[in-house]
Amino acid sequence: MASKQLAALAIFAIVLPAVAMATEFTLLKILSSILIHAVFKYTAGRHNVFKVNGTAFTNCTIPPANEALTTGNDVITLATPGRKWYICGVNDHCANYGQKLAITVLEAWVSPASAPSTPAASAPSTPAAPAPSTPAAPAPSTPAAPAPSSAYGISVSGYQLLMAAMVAVAFLVV
């Protein structure tokens, strides 16, 4: 019984904080009508959120104070694909404590059959002879994106994988 409690404690003490500290997430936008939101919950006054570019994210460069989100319950709509970077601008929270988050929103791979467009010009007065049919050349092969298996994917760093491996080893030992 004690070993099961130890294993449960290991999950709560190692895996959950490791996932909570993840700084890199990849979101897959399945349908264009779905809007994904990032919600930043924190103690107002002790933290804030800045949307920055990749360089400012890497260097923890804090933008002007008037660009900060400071409510403690900030909701950001991730409506477009691409990289988004966010940092905490309080003191040295970004540089020394890693309070920063990079999000990648990916457009889902969809290959709907596109309907041929109808020209707006009027039809000719005399019928045209049909063009001789020739076999169409195969389309150039392009790498297809993997079929989405879920709406959201999370890309975690090596630290979280190491912690998960340690928990798995702990289960084998007990």
> Average per-residue pLDDT in the chain?
65
The reply to whether 60 falls in a domain is yes
Cα 75 to Cα 4: distance, rounded to the nearest angstrom: 39
**Cα–Cα–Cα angle for 111, 136, 132, nearest 5°?**
130
Above 80 in pLDDT, residue 101?
A: yes
Tell whether 133 is covered by a domain.
Answer: no
**Parent domain of 99:** 23-109+147-155
pLDDT at 139: 46
Residue 121 belongs to some domain of the structure? no
Is residue 77 assigned to a domain?
Answer: yes
**pTM of the predicted model as reported, rounded to 2 decimal places:** 0.48
Look up the CATH number of the domain holding residue 93: 2.60.40.420
Query: Is the confidence at residue 53, as pLDDT, over 70?
Result: yes
CA 70 – CA 88 distance, rounded (Å): 10
Q: How far apart are the first and last CA of the chain?
A: 11
pLDDT over threshold 50, residue 16: no
Would you say residue 163 lies in a domain?
no
57-83 pLDDT tens trace: 999 999 999 999 999 999 998 888 889
Residue 39 lies in a domain: yes
Q: What was the pLDDT predicted at 8? A: 40
In a domain, 164, yes or no: no
| Gap between the Cα atoms of 62 and 56, Å rounded | 7
Do the Cβ atoms of 27 and 36 come closer than 8 Å?
yes
pLDDT at 34: 58
Domains identified in the chain, total number: 1
Higher pLDDT, 117 or 81: 81
- Angle, helices 158-173/2-10, rounded to nearest 10 degrees: 180
pLDDT tens profile 118-166: 444 444 444 445 445 444 444 444 444 444 433 333 444 445 555 555 5
Is 56 inside a domain boundary? yes
